[in-house]
């Protein structure tokens, strides 16, 4: 009778308790995570301001870079402030509704980033391999059309994943072993069968980052072959592409490792799993502005002009 009563209870308030095994050392995590968060906010804000403020940077490539800066700003803001307060003051409570909203926003933000990386690879493909058709296919109106289907795909999968999580009853415990409401970290607390949730989560992982990675890889392989055939004329562009690929591989690897760590038997400790999940959001948000911004000549020129302008302003 007591078991039936417990199973009928569904928690509506949760505690995010990531890195709890560190005990009294847990507050020390405030320093590295705060520094990464601060770096992410500053560099992405500067990059976004420079792109918006200069009409010369309103071409498709720079618009995509600006959208990436928006995503890189949004992702950390959704969970890092709450996580930092948790480290310092143990302010770790979150409602079920707040948890579901956070889950949707974070996962949709990450799928959007994957779609942007694919769009950037497409932009590089037309710029290097089909330069005569670049303006025809990569006008803002055209490349927005290319993004509609992937964005609808992302929305359907993430809404389905979040909606199914909302229908579950959570009676096992109200402590989430994570720093934000990651899908499987919450779903694993349910006292019902979660097979369908697991399936939809896997579909989201393989129909978004995995599929996008395949197309990104194909695009860059075609670019490499084209550059090698054309001689040295595009080696500078090739160097940029290699840097892009390194960031893409690191980002998607972090994401897939965090995603699969809940589904296959592995030696990951709970803290390692939480670290991977936070890094697949924070790592690209710190690196992308450098890779896609400062390494681009036009953006670097405008950022230097902005710095010089700030220096000559009398305070």
Identify the CATH number of the domain in which residue 30 sits: 1.20.1070.10
pLDDT at 288: 82
Residue 37 has pLDDT above 90, yes or no: yes
Residue 8 has pLDDT above 60, yes or no: no
pLDDT-based confidence at 268, cuts 50/70/90?
Answer: low
Beta bridge partners of 94: 14
What angle separates helix 140-166 from helix 60-89, to the nearest 10 degrees? 30
Tokens representing 5? 């009563």
Residues 172-208: tens digit of each pLDDT: 778 888 888 988 889 988 888 888 998 998 888 888 8
Residues 74-132: tens digit of each pLDDT: 989 999 999 999 998 888 899 999 999 999 999 999 889 888 888 888 888 888 888 77
Please check whether residue 93 lies inside any domain of the structure. Answer: yes
Tally the domains of the chain. 1
Please check whether residue 75 lies inside any domain of the structure. Answer: yes
Euclidean distance between CA atoms 313 and 88, whole angstroms: 38
Q: Mean pLDDT, the chain, as a whole number? A: 82
pLDDT at 184: 86
Question: What residue ranges in the chain does DSSP mark as E strands?
Answer: 13-16, 93-95, 175-176
**Alpha carbons within 13 A on the beta-carbon side of 99:** 29
Q: How many C-beta atoms surround the C-beta of residue 228 within 10 A? A: 11
Hey, which of 36-50, 58-72, 137-151 has the most confident mean pLDDT?
36-50
Tokens representing 52? 């918006």
pLDDT-based confidence at 236, cuts 50/70/90?
Answer: low
> Rounded to whole angstroms, what are the CA distances from 33 to 23, 181, 243, 287?
17, 17, 24, 15
Euclidean distance between CA atoms 250 and 284, whole angstroms: 8
Residue 263 has pLDDT above 70, yes or no: no
Asked whether the beta carbons of 63 and 140 are under 8 A apart, the reply is: yes
Please check whether residue 6 lies inside any domain of the structure. Answer: no
Residue 280 has pLDDT above 90, yes or no: no
Residue 231 vs residue 115, higher pLDDT: 115
**Alpha carbons within 13 A on the beta-carbon side of 215:** 19
Please check whether residue 12 lies inside any domain of the structure. Answer: no
pLDDT at 70: 92
pLDDT at 238: 64
Please check whether residue 8 lies inside any domain of the structure. Answer: no
Euclidean distance between CA atoms 264 and 256, whole angstroms: 12
Q: pTM here?
A: 0.84
Please check whether residue 58 lies inside any domain of the structure. Answer: yes
Please check whether residue 77 lies inside any domain of the structure. Answer: yes
pLDDT at 262: 64
Provide the domain limits for residue 96.
24-307
pLDDT at 131: 79
> Of the given ranges (195-209, 260-274, 277-291), which has the lowest mean pLDDT?
260-274
Average pLDDT of the residues in 125-149: 78
Average pLDDT of the residues in 42-49: 90
Residue 6 has pLDDT above 50, yes or no: no
> Rounded to whole angstroms, what are the CA distances from 38 to 8, 79, 80, 211, 220?
43, 13, 10, 32, 32
Please check whether residue 16 lies inside any domain of the structure. Answer: no
């Amino acid at each position: 009778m007591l078991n039936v009563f417990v199973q009928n209870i569904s928690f509506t308030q949760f505690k995010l308790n990531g890195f709890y095994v560190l005990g009294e050392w847990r507050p020390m995590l405030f320093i590295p995570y705060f520094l990464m968060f601060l770096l992410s906010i500053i560099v992405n804000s500067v990059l976004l301001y420079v792109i918006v403020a200069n009409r010369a940077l309103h071409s498709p490539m720079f618009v995509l870079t600006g959208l990436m800066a928006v995503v890189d700003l949004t992702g950390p803001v959704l969970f890092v402030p709450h996580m930092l307060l948790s480290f310092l003051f143990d302010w770790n409570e979150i409602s079920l509704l707040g948890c579901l909203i956070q889950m949707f926003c974070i996962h949709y933000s990450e799928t959007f980033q994957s779609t942007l990386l694919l769009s950037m690879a497409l932009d590089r493909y037309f710029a290097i391999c089909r330069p005569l058709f670049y303006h025809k296919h990569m006008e803002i109106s055209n490349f927005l059309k290319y993004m509609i289907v992937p964005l609808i795909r992302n929305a359907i999968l993430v809404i389905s994943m979040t909606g199914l999580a909302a229908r579950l009853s959570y009676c096992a415990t109200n402590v989430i072993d994570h720093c934000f409401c990651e899908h499987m970290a919450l779903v694993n607390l349910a006292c019902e069968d979660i097979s369908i949730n697991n399936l939809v989560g896997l579909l989201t992982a393989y129909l978004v980052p995995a599929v996008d990675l395949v197309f990104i890889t194909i695009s860059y392989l075609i670019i490499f072959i084209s550059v090698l055939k054309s001689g040295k004329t595009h080696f500078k562009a090739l160097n940029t592409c290699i840097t892009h690929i390194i960031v893409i591989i690191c980002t998607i690897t972090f994401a897939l490792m965090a995603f699969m760590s809940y589904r296959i038997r592995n030696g990951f400790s709970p803290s390692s799993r939480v670290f991977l999940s936070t890094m697949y959001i924070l790592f690209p948000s710190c690196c992308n502005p450098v890779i896609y911004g400062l390494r681009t000549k036009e953006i670097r020129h405008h950022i230097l002009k902005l710095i010089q302008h700030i220096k000559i302003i009398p305070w």
